[in-house]
Chains A and B, each alone.
Chain A
Amino acid sequence: MTFRITMARAATALTLSLAAAVPALAVDFTVDLVNEPSSLDPHMQWNPDSYYVYRNIFDNLVTRDNDGKIVPQVAESWEQLSDTELQMTIREGITFHDGTPLTAKDVAFSVKRITDPELGSPQLGQFNSITDAVAKDDRTVVLTTASPYPVLLAQLVNLSIVPQHVVEEVGDEAFNEAPVGSGPYKFGSLRRGVEVILDVNPDYWGDKGPFEQVAFKAVPDASTRVANLRAGTADLVVSLDSDQVMQLQSASGVKVLSAPTERIGFMGLNTQRAPLDDPEMRKAVAMAIDREGIVAGILGGGEQVVDQMATPAHFGYIPDVAPIPYDPEAAREIVEAKGEAGQEPMVIKTAPVFDQRIVQALQQMLSEAGFNASIDMVDMATYLGDSRQEDRSKRPILGFGRWSCACQDVDGVIFPLLHSTSSWSRVDDPEIDALLEKARGTLDEDQRMDAYRQIQTRMEDQRYILPLYQAVALYGASDKLEWTPTANESLFLNRMTWSE
């Protein structure tokens, strides 16, 4: 009897140890990106191909769940000490991939590092409202902002925590080549121009990744990404358009995953320049554009028309806003009534990265409504230089853009686009400026919403900018992958599951 129990126990122990030794699903996973990540140091480059990869190597201070709610990650809880001081409690038991525990000191270091102008981080603008970060003890850190800053938490979603001892020991350059984080995946190897390999972190404190090893490959041509997916050499591919989606829908073993994003397509108007300094003319522009036609006829990937510079994924989104009317006849009447002034040339400045089908449609719709509109295509750097030049009145009279602040807060969209001091703005309205500052300067959500409602009313009256649509991110994936893409276009491997 005793013998039998011993044997049974031994068998159970053996089974358990086997189960522990052999992970339930030992699979390799391949993701096709467009280009190779330009940086693996999360405090440097900020572009999708980079953060798709490094966000799996690092933990962020806080994160958004699949519903878009801000939830704890490295910070387990937080409390506002005053309007300008945020105290965060750091989760216990997080270790970096080299085995060192993550403490409040690393958090303070990470904040100081990314806000240090000497580092030259392109993300400086997202975090430079933070003036100080102090580790009170191993588990407490206090962040200070210059003034009350309601978007702080939303920005901290993008703040990755790096290990102080490693960065200081090896230096910024070596850290970029062999990053050490605390995330669900560890940096494995880098073949420049070809692929980055990540290995699963078996000691991860949270949800572990479902794949043993993950390769992120650079495949610039979208048709090739689709071919890789169909041939089975890729399991997930990013950045598809509706044509490629149609190809995938008829193929077997693969599927299309899509998610409405926080990215907004819009037409920018220079309100400082004739003829668009006239509110009547701006209204005519808005009425001339068939936004439903653009969404259904050109894009066709599930995009939604928006009537404000926000999506339901943003804080500051106002439900039941009156739709912007489409009425080309009325637009034409306004333009004709203006006579000479209505015939001022309007140039749509654009660059190859923007969807030229939309730019051409906009130009055609404007011409049909009687405007004198034309297109001027330049390279991206020239476009950005023109759009952000000192003299606001010289910025392009018209342009098509797609905007995401990666913070899901309206402040990140309309402050840079509308506030008169911003290098993007083509608007100079003291009333709008005051409301934007009010909404940015208080932590009271009701007061903020109230300010955004007033801005929306003013916008309906003035049509400073024309919201077009909420963009959609389209991915191709193997049928075996279960994954819910989110509005902030991130790609967390440990939120995926794989079924054979």
Chain B
Amino acid sequence: MQLFIVKRIGQALIALFGVMTLVFFIQRLTGDPTYLLVPENATQADIEAMRRTLGLDQPLLVQYGRFLWDMTHFDLGRSFVQNVKVTTIIASRLPYTLQLAGGALIVALVIGLPVGLILALGRRFAVTRVLMGLVLAAQSMPTFWSGIMMIMVFGVWLGWLPPSGAGSLQHLIMPSIALGLLSMATYARIARSAVLDELSKDYIRSARARGVGTGRLVTHHLLRNSVIPVISVTALEISQLLAGAVIVETVFAWPGLGQLTVEAIVSRDFVVVQGVVLLGAFVTIAVNFAADVLYTVVDPRIRLGGSRP
């Protein structure tokens, strides 16, 4: 287990270094942010001065060296546009992204898993076909449309919920549902196929033969054994949700990381993009590691590489 962790940390550091190097160079390939920062009537001399202030007049390798040096000191730099530390900007957005990701995950799991189970167990009934259709519909609705519809119905006509913004639990409800519905369908389908898989196995038949009731069969045997694919999908979903949900955030004016990233890319605020990508890479690595550990908890037959049984 220890060896596994050490190996994983080594791999993580190499991955982070690779990601940061790629982002550094790819962004600079896209061009120069200076023109976006100066007003229309700035002269060529003003533009040069701005470039010097931002350190963009230096050769690329010098910029890269400085960037690596700052990274080893945990200094992510300062936004070109806002003139504020990147860590401050990301720290202010992160809580909102966590809230939205949490809300969406709850919506997805609480609706998705039971629906998947029903789809699997009741696959012989016509009514489940209708349910499957509804799941597909929920997944296929574009968020920029369903989000605005929700705002019009619940925010404007009925007046039950604030149409947009952040700050209270009420604000969180609509964006969580809009975002959660997308992952809900994924969960329903994963849960359905995992349960179907298990249903055809011998131990289920044996349990049935022993006279175990359907309820107990599901809660004591089926669920635990079907949970592995759900954990894998959750790890993927969490990394995606934490990277931000651009459209949902834009429609509901939710101040998460997705919006920040898009704004930063559009204005070529390199330093902010680097910060967000670093965070994203870190989260993905951490969540996958957590999922690996969780497998061994759920299924003691699984051993992590390097440790002996």
Task: For B257, give the chain A residue with the smallest CB separation.
Answer: A193
A15 contacts partner chain B, Cβ-Cβ < 8 Å: no
- Cα distance A412–B42 in the bound complex, in angstroms: 11
Which residue in B50, B89, B151 is a CB contact (below 8 Å) of A120? B50
A380 CA to B163 CA, complexed, in Å: 31
Bound together, the chains give a CA A192 to CA B152 distance in angstroms of 26
**A193→B148 contact, CB < 8 A:** no
Give A223 to B163 CA distance when docked, in angstroms. Answer: 11
Q: B89 — nearest CB in chain A belongs to which residue?
A: A192
Question: What separation, in Å, do the CA atoms of A262 and B291 have in the docked complex?
Answer: 58
Does B307 have its Cβ within 8 Å of any Cβ on chain A? no
Known contacts being A223-B148, A423-B43, is A194 close to B167, with CB within 8 Å? yes
Complex Cα–Cα for A415 and B41 (A): 9
Q: Tell me if B69 is interfacial: C-beta within 8 Å of chain A.
A: no
In the complex where A120-B53, A192-B255, A217-B253 touch, is A176 in contact with B39 (Cβ < 8 A)?
A: no
Nearest chain A CB to B151 CB, angstrom units: 5
| Distance in Å: Cβ of B163 to nearest Cβ of chain A | 5
Given A228-B163, A231-B163: A221 in contact with B43 (beta carbons within 8 A) = no
Task: Kindly report which residue of chain A lies nearest to residue B42, judged by CB atoms.
Answer: A125
Residues 70-93 of chain B: 1 if any A CB is under 8 Å from the residue's CB, otherwise 0? Answer: 000000000001111000110011
The reply to whether the CB of A227 lies closer than 8 angstroms to some CB of chain B is: yes
Q: Is the CB of A388 within 8 A of B163?
A: no
Query: Considering the chains assembled together, what is the distance between the CA atoms of A45 and B260 in angstroms?
Result: 17
Contact A193 B40 (CB under 8 A): no
Q: Chain A: interface residue count, which band?
A: 35 or more
A125:B41 contact, CB within 8 angstroms:
yes
Residue of A nearest to B85 (CB): A173
- Per-position 1/0 for B253-266, Cβ under 8 A of A: 10110011001001
B30 at the interface (CB under 8 A from A): yes
A80 at the interface (CB under 8 A from B): no
Q: Indicate if the CB atoms of B84 and A219 lie closer than 8 Å.
A: no
Interface string of A194-238 (1 = CB under 8 A from B): 110000000000000000000001111101100110110100000
Residues of A within 8 A of B88 (CB): 192
Shortest Cβ gap from B134 to chain A (Å) = 26
Given contacts A193-B260, A220-B253, A233-B165, contact A388 B46 (CB under 8 A): no
Q: Mark B2-32, 1 if CB is under 8 A from A, else 0.
A: 0000000000000000000000000000111
- A227-B164 contact in complex given A120-B53, A124-B49, A379-B266, C-beta closer than 8 Å: yes
- CB atoms of B39 and A384 under 8 A apart: no
A272 and B144 CA atoms in complex are apart in Å by 44
Cβ of B66 to closest chain A Cβ, rounded Å: 18
Asked if A416 is at the interface (CB within 8 A of a chain B CB), the reply is yes
Picked from B31, B37, B43, the residue with its CB within 8 Å of the CB of A122 is B37
Chain B residues, CB < 8 A from A424: 40
Whether B304 sits at the interface, judged by CB under 8 Å, is no
Distance in angstroms from B64 CB to nearest chain A CB is: 20
Nearest CB of B to A253, in Å: 11
For the complex formed, measure the closest distance between the CB of B136 and the CB atoms of chain A, giving whole angstroms: 26
- Chain B residues near A45 (CB-CB < 8 A): 81-82
Q: Is the CB of B253 within 8 A of A224?
A: yes
The reply to whether A423 and B268 form a contact with Cβ atoms under 8 Å apart is no
Residue of A nearest to B154 (CB): A231
Q: Do A176 and B84 form a contact, CB below 8 Å, given A192-B92, A193-B259, A193-B260?
A: yes
Given contacts A228-B165, A390-B44, 7 further A-B contacts (CB under 8 A): A35-B263, A38-B81, A125-B46, A194-B96, A218-B253, A220-B259, A231-B155
Instruction: Identify the 10 closest CB pairs spanning chains A and B, nearest first.
Output: A193-B255, A384-B35, A120-B53, A192-B92, A125-B42, A219-B253, A125-B46, A227-B163, A227-B151, A231-B163
